[in-house]
Chains A and B, each alone.
Chain A
Amino acid sequence: MKGIVFTEFLEMVEDRFGFDIADNIISQSDLPSGGIYTAVGTYDHQEMVRLVVNLSAMSGIAVPDLLKAYGEHLFSRFVKGYHHFFANATSTLDFLALIENYIHVEVRKLYPDAELPTFETVRPAENRLEMTYHSSRGLGDFAEGLLNGCIKHFQENISLHREDINPDRTIVKFTLIRIPD
């Protein structure tokens, strides 16, 4: 898992829950990396699982909720750090349709070994986009959070439906329907 997911997560925890909590979950998680992350590194995704589980325990917020919230937050960070990806996209559906064939391609240029989830997108109508998430990590909640972040960014009226295709949530189908103003 890319380092930026860790660095942004810890920053969010520090901001929203405070330095003590952030320091605590790192200590409790017994991380091979020691909790020392940089955005350009790559780390075992199990470290993220431990951090989230410990934060959940400490904060009393359910893991799926934490993941959704973090996804939404991370998207806003992406907008800041990688604004060039947003230069040509003016709507949620247009931008999401570009993930697989543009953004992930660019990411692989920098990190050829990055293990990225795949998104199959189908756009049956101008205002409808069906995205199927595939990932062995089963982080459908995190993906949902990211999608929410995206919808928020473009400030459009979009309804998001989620359907877990299998129980371990390695395949999750999202349907986005834009409701014109």
Chain B
Amino acid sequence: MDQLDSLKRILQRERAARKAAEEVIEKKSLELYLANQELMKLNESLEERIRERTAEIEASRQELILAKNKAEAADRSKSEFLSNMSHEIRTPLNAVIGLTELIVRDSQDATALEYARSIQYSAENLLVIINEILDFSKIESGKLTFERINFPLAQVVESLMTTYRPKAESKNLSFRAIVDPEVPEYLMGDPVKLSQILINLVGNALKFTASGHVHLSISLREKADDHTQVWIRVEDTGIGIPADKLSRIFESFEQANSSTSREFGGTGLGLAITRRLVELQGGKIWVESEPGKGSCFQFVMPFDIGDKALANAPAAVAEHPETDLSRMRILLVEDLAMNQFLMKQVFRRKNITADIASNGREALDKLRLQTYDVVLMDLHMPVMDGREATRIIRQPGSGILDPEVFIIALTADAFQETRREVMEMGMNDFLSKPIRMDELYGKLYEVADLLNV
């Protein structure tokens, strides 16, 4: 009996122990559960924060993209505005220049001739300014590209000297170009852009120099097997630039001081464009100057060494007085009545009677009815522009009697890119407005020779 009681007590103790253990387990389970819940909550809140931060980052990224797009759009519309305005201004200006040229050629009256020459001079100046603005907007919008062709440096220098010699002579300045014999005869690069840089620097030097000299010197900074660093200096004995203005002289719309523009004119864009043209070709431009003594603008630009054998022979535009242009069948495609009138006068001087179409569609109609020797095609026209018309003319099965007809583009801008573009479109040649009579006649003689008209 005692033993049974003992067993019962043992059982009671064991049972109590088991219950205590179960309680501990439940307590621990609950603690684990709660700890787990905490972790899950923490995890969730971390994930939530990551989601929030990600959303914030994404939102600010979107805002930045939006702001960037807005800024770019604003910049583009500014450039487009400049480009369009320049174009709008050039169109009537081209008529002014063209008609003035007619007066200058035809005028018998000395006073009228003098007036006409003044108009011509002012109009040419205005054209330079507008071209600078157009160039600048093109550089700013990153649309400028550079040619890479073989060219003789001497030719660039010679045509520069020819352009400016009369001006230097009129001011009694010593005007010389010194080219170091070490400099390769042929360079590989963009001669048009190099001319543009030189025209600006030499033009400025002549403008700001009343007496003394303007000297252009070209030498080498560095020469390797296939490339060089050409060092070009334009030195004058002009008014000079104060030291505190030197650093800003290459900025846009900057001139040495505001009286400069009153006295000497200019847009304040010339040097900014020049600097960009130098830098975009991997060069560096700087200036040394002393007020009252003169300035020396200089730049170093890399060029690959060209090869004379690969250079294209310069096209000789010769007058052919014996060739009769009057028998040429010409179609002028031009929308502006003023330009049509101007061109008619230009044709009349060589007894040419040309057909006129006011837009691309009219041109196609005429080309389907008869053949022409040459089509002078304006690019910007309503209804159908020159690009589209050319595309259709060259396209097989368009019903054009002579799909191979010689097409000369008439464009408002003188950019190399435009030139390349019209050639790629299938046009044969290119004339930039304002149309210079001699240039136009030269092209017509070329075509006449080519076609044996």
For the complex, is B30 an interface residue (Cβ under 8 Å from A)? Answer: yes
Residue A16, interface by CB 8 Å: no
Q: Is A110 part of the contact surface with B, judged by Cβ < 8 Å? A: yes
In the assembled complex, the Cα of A39 lies from the Cα of B21 at a distance in Å of 10
Q: Could you tell me the distance between the alpha carbons of A81 and B19 in the complex, rounded to whole angstroms?
A: 10
Query: Per-residue CB proximity of A68-89 to B under 8 Å, as 1/0?
Result: 0000000000000100000000
State which residues 24-72 of A face B: CB under 8 Å.
Answer: 38-40
| Minimum C-beta distance from B137 to chain A (A) | 72
B30 to A: closest C-beta gap in Å: 6
9 further contact pairs, Cβ within 8 A, besides A40-B25, A110-B30:
A38-B18, A38-B21, A38-B22, A39-B19, A39-B22, A39-B26, A109-B34, A110-B26, A110-B33
The answer to whether B29 touches A110 (Cβ under 8 A) is: yes
* Nearest CB of A to B25, in Å: 5
What 0/1 pattern do residues 1 to 33 of A give for CB contact below 8 A with B? Answer: 000000000010000000000000000000000
A109 touches which of B21, B23, B25, B33 (Cβ 8 Å): B33
Residues of B2-46 at the interface with A, using a CB-CB cut-off of 8 Å, are 15, 18-19, 21-23, 25-26, 29-30, 33-34
Contact call A40/B22, Cβ cutoff below 8 A: yes
Chain A residue, CB-CB nearest to B19: A39
Chain A contacts with B in 89-142, Cβ cutoff 8 A: 109-111
Footprint of B on A, CB under 8 Å? 11, 38-40, 81, 109-111
Q: What is the CB-to-nearest-CB distance from A107 to chain B, in angstroms, rounded to a whole number?
A: 10
A residues in contact with B21, CB < 8 Å: 38
Q: How far is the CA of A39 from the CA of B23 in the complex (A)?
A: 9
Q: Which residues on B sit within 8 Å (CB–CB) of A40?
A: 22, 25-26, 29
**Most chain-A CB neighbours within 10 Å: which of B21, B25, B26, B33?**
B26
Chain A residues with CB under 8 A of B25: 40
**Chain A minimum-CB-distance residue to B26:** A110
A-side contacts of B30, CB under 8 Å: 109-110
Bound state CA distance, A39 and B26, in angstroms? 9
Number of residues in B with C-beta < 8 Å to the partner?
A: 12
A37 to B, closest residue via Cβ: B18
Query: B22 to chain A: which residues have CB within 8 Å?
Result: 38-40
Closest approach, in angstroms, between the C-beta of B20 and any C-beta of chain A? 11
A109 to B15, CA, bound (A): 25
Cα distance A109–B22 in the bound complex, in angstroms:
15
A-B contact pairs, 21 of them (CB 8 A): A11-B15, A38-B18, A38-B21, A38-B22, A39-B19, A39-B22, A39-B26, A40-B22, A40-B25, A40-B26, A40-B29, A81-B23, A109-B29, A109-B30, A109-B33, A109-B34, A110-B26, A110-B29, A110-B30, A110-B33, A111-B29
C-alpha gap A176/B23 in the complex (Å): 33
Residues on A with C-beta less than 8 A from B15 are 11
CB-CB nearest in chain A for B29: A110
In the complex, the chain A residue whose C-beta lies closest to that of B34 is: A109
Q: Which residues of B contact A39 (CB under 8 A)?
A: 19, 22, 26
What is the CA–CA distance of A109 and B32 in the complex, to the nearest angstrom? 9
Q: Give the distance to chain B from A24, nearest Cβ to Cβ, in Å.
A: 17
B18 to chain A, nearest CB (A): 6
Q: Looking at the assembled complex, report how far the CB atom of A87 sits from the nearest CB atom of chain B, in whole angstroms.
A: 16
**Cα distance, A152 to B321, chains bound together (Å):** 134
Interface residues of B in 168-209 (CB under 8 A from A): none
Chain A proximity of B3: nearest CB distance (Å): 14
Write the nearest CB–CB distance from A33 to chain B, whole angstroms.
15
Chain B, Cβ-Cβ closest to A14: B11
Nearest CB in chain A to that of B15: its residue? A11
- B7 to chain A: closest residue by CB: A19
CB-CB nearest in chain A for B25:
A40
Q: How far is the CB of A76 from chain B (nearest CB, A)?
A: 15
Report the minimum CB–CB distance from A43 to chain B (whole Å): 14
Q: How far is the CA of A46 from the CA of B18 in the complex (A)?
A: 24
A11 and B30 alpha carbons, distance in the complex (Å): 25
Cα–Cα distance between A179 and B22 once the two chains are bound (Å): 39
A111 surroundings in chain B (CB, below 8 A): 29
List residues of chain A with CB within 8 A of the CB of B19. 39
Q: Which chain B residues border A110 with CB–CB below 8 Å?
A: 26, 29-30, 33
**Assembled-state Cα–Cα distance A110/B26 (Å):** 7
Q: Which B residues from 75 to 90 make CB contacts under 8 A with A?
A: none
**Closest 6 A/B residue pairs (Cβ):** A39-B22, A109-B33, A110-B29, A40-B25, A40-B22, A110-B26
State how many angstroms separate the Cβ of B32 from the closest Cβ of chain A. Answer: 9
Closest-CB distance, A114 to chain B (whole angstroms): 12
Closest residue of B by beta carbon distance from A109: B33
Query: Chain A: which residue is nearest B33 at the CB level?
Result: A109
Smallest CB separation, A164 vs chain B (Å): 34
Residues of B within 8 A of A109 (CB): 29-30, 33-34
Residues of chain A contacted by B34 (CB below 8 angstroms): 109
Q: Specify which chain A residues have a CB less than 8 angstroms from the CB of B29 in the assembled complex.
A: 40, 109-111
Contacts of B26 in A (CB 8 A): 39-40, 110
Closest Cβ neighbor of B37 among chain A residues: A109
A109 to B34, CA, bound (A): 8
Instruction: Name the CB-closest residue of A to B22.
Output: A39
Chain B's closest residue to A3 (CB) is B22
Q: Which residue of A lies closest to B4 (CB)?
A: A19
When chains A and B are docked, how far (Å) is the Cα of A111 from the Cα of B21? 16
A residues within 8 A CB of B33? 109-110
Output the least CB separation between B40 and chain A (Å): 13
Name, among A38, A81, A109, A111, the residue most crowded by chain B CB atoms within 10 Å (CB to CB): A109
A40 to B15, CA, bound (A): 14
Separation of A109 and B18 alpha carbons in the complex (Å) = 21
Cα A124 to Cα B18 in complex, Å, equals 43
Give the contacts of B22-73 with A (CB-CB under 8 A): 22-23, 25-26, 29-30, 33-34
